[in-house]
Amino acid sequence: MTDLSSENHFQPINLFEYEQLAKKYLSQMAVDYYSSGAGDEVTLRDNRAAFERIKLRPRMLVDVSDRNLTTSILGQPLQLPLLIAPMAFQCLAHPQGEVATAQAAALAGVGMILSTMATKSIEEVASVAHQNNAVQWFQLYIHKDRGLTRTLVERAYAAGYKALCLTVDAPVLGQRERDKRNEFALPPGLHLANLATISQLDICHEQGESGLFTYFAQQLNPAVTWRDLEWLQSICPLPLVLKGILRADDASRAVEYGAKAIIVSNHGGRQLDGAIASLDALPEIIAAIDGKIEVLIDGGIRRGTDILKALAIGAQAVLIGRPVLWGLAVGGQAGVSHIISLLEDELNIAMSLSGCTQLQDIDFSLVKSINI
């Protein structure tokens, strides 16, 4: 990051500063695509506000001279309880896009989930994991075109991805008004690297409607139900993770239908505006799951203390999304690495000040909230 400091005389020291700095590197259309939520963006704001409402109750006079942040998810080792969420179109932020993100994740020993809507291919990103023995999962939808879905799954399995992460909260696309106003379109030269059936299309706006929206209208499948999970599991032996669970009964059903983990998520506030904040949904889901499968969470995490709060309520790990894009825009791989390092340092300090030497010490007694 020395080039960043010398050019701008400013070194971000937290994720919020990265967000502000990233706006200097991105077009307004890209900023709005990455940062916006659905509708009035109530859920987008609530995701952050939920963490701010939770207060910590630290333990005192604990020997915290040695700390251990390592964990495992689905039996896969992580250096800290963090994965990078699936995010589309990362080459909008930096030419190396998802490859740079994967390199930073691998070097830090955290997980990465590659989006179906990536601008780098399944195989190209997987090559980074192979070189570093990294944890990579593949995110997908069950498209109307089952052949397309099967092909994506088979490619991910062949490339060595460790799990399938099925997004379940997008039977249709949310009403993202900033994108609609901007007539969002990928710039020339960028394409959907993993979707051969549409990669030949010119992803540009048509009569005011983005080619992205056209794609979703064509391929998102509002008819998908729980029974379709059986089909997905029948074509691939990888563990299935469901992303987008916000209710206890859906969490229990995920267990019933064979999911090995769930991600408590409202899609970063980009789908149903007014949906419950992910953190607010977490307690009842943890109670319903009762340790049967692993539970992760995303949405609004910007500090190490946020990770501590999520783990205290019962999550095994967290996902971060937008901050990775800000780091990518500012400094490519080095920017993403710095984002991860900042969170690791903050979590380390938060654990020390809370009387925790390992993740197993983090429990519900550490948090207090009016609503929990």
Question: Residue positions in the annotated binding site?
Answer: 33, 86-88, 115, 139, 141, 167, 176, 243, 265, 267, 270, 298-302, 321-322
Instruction: Show Cβ contacts of residue 278 under 8 Å, excluding neighbours closer than 6 positions.
Output: 47, 50, 246, 264, 265, 266, 297, 298, 299, 300
CA 175 vs. chain centroid, Å, equals 20
Burial label, 278 (beta-carbon count in 10 A; 0-12, 13-18, 19+): buried
CB atoms near residue 264 (< 10 Å): 31
Burial label, 9 (beta-carbon count in 10 A; 0-12, 13-18, 19+): exposed
Clarify whether 205 is annotated catalytic: no
* Closest of 129, 73, 76 to residue 104, by C-alpha: 129
- Which residues are documented as binding site for FMN? 86-88, 115, 139, 243, 265, 298-302, 321-322
Residue 22 vs residues 60, 88, 103, 332: alpha-carbon distances, Å: 39, 17, 20, 11
Residue type, position 339, single letter: I
Catalytic residue, from 94, 143, 267, 338: name it: 267
CB atoms near residue 196 (< 10 Å): 12
CB atoms near residue 78 (< 10 Å): 21
The whole-angstrom separation of Cα 184 and Cα 155 is 29
Catalytic residues: 267
